[in-house]
Amino acid sequence: MKNAPLLAVLLALPLFLNDFWLTQVATRALILGITALSLSFLATYLGVVSFAQAMMAGIAGYTIAYFGPNTVAIGWELPFWLSIPLALVLATLAGALTGLVARRSRGIYAIMITLAIGVAFFYLTRQNYSLFNGWTGFSGVRAPQVFGLNLRAPVPLYLMTLAVAVAALVLVAGFVRSPLGLTIQALRDAPGRVRALGIPALGPIVAAFAFSGFIAGAGGILNVWYNERISSFSVGLGPIIDILIICVIGGLRHPAGAFIGAIAFVLLETFAVDLIDRDRFNTLIGLVLLAIVMLAPNGLQGMAAALVARLRPRAATPKTSI
Partner 1 sequence: MPVNGTQNHANALDARGIGKRFGGFWAVQDINLTVRPGERRAILGPNGAGKTSLFNVLTGDLTASAGTVRLFGQDVTREPIHKRIRRGLRRSYQHAHLFEGLTVRETLFLAVAGVQGSWAQVWPLKGSDKRLAEADRLAEVAGLTSFSERAVSELSHGQRRQLEIGIALAENPRVLLLDEPAAGLSPAERPKLSALLMALPQEVTVVLIEHDMEIALQTSESVSVLYNGRMLAEGTPDAIMQNEDVHQVYLGGGYAQ
Binding site for partner 1 (CB under 8 A): 174-175, 177-183, 185-186, 188-190, 192-200, 203-204, 207, 319, 321-322
What backbone phi and psi angles, to 5 degrees, belong to 81? -75, -5
Shortest separation between residue 240's beta carbon and partner 1, angstroms = 27
Q: What count of Cα atoms within 13 Å lies in the side-chain half-sphere of residue 146?
A: 13
Shortest separation between residue 172's beta carbon and partner 1, angstroms = 11
Pick 78 or 201: Cβ nearer partner 1: 201
Shortest separation between residue 194's beta carbon and partner 1, angstroms = 8
Pick 193 or 278: Cβ nearer partner 1: 193
Shortest separation between residue 191's beta carbon and partner 1, angstroms = 9
The answer to whether the CB of 95 falls within 8 A of the CB of 212 is yes
Shortest separation between residue 214's beta carbon and partner 1, angstroms = 11
If you compute the radius of gyration of the chain from its CA atoms, what whole number of angstroms results? 19
Pick 148 or 192: Cβ nearer partner 1: 192
Shortest separation between residue 189's beta carbon and partner 1, angstroms = 4
Pick 190 or 290: Cβ nearer partner 1: 190
The DSSP code for 24 is I
* Amino acid at position 257, single letter: G
The DSSP code for 128 is -
230 sits in which H/E element = strand 229-230
138 beta partners: 230
The answer to whether the CB of 293 falls within 8 A of the CB of 246 is no
Tell me how far apart the alpha carbons of residues 100 and 156 are, in angstroms, rounded to a whole number. Answer: 38
- In 3D space, the residue among 249, 258, 317, 319 whose CA is nearest the CA of residue 288 turns out to be 249
Tell me how far apart the alpha carbons of residues 135 and 25 are, in angstroms, rounded to a whole number. Answer: 27
Shortest separation between residue 112's beta carbon and partner 1, angstroms = 25
The answer to whether the CB of 226 falls within 8 A of the CB of 89 is no
Pick 175 or 225: Cβ nearer partner 1: 175
The answer to whether the CB of 253 falls within 8 A of the CB of 241 is no
Helix, coil or strand: residue 139: strand
Neighbours of 317 (CB within 10 A): 8
Pick 127 or 320: Cβ nearer partner 1: 320
Shortest separation between residue 203's beta carbon and partner 1, angstroms = 6
Pick 155 or 186: Cβ nearer partner 1: 186
Pick 179 or 297: Cβ nearer partner 1: 179
The answer to whether the CB of 302 falls within 8 A of the CB of 253 is yes
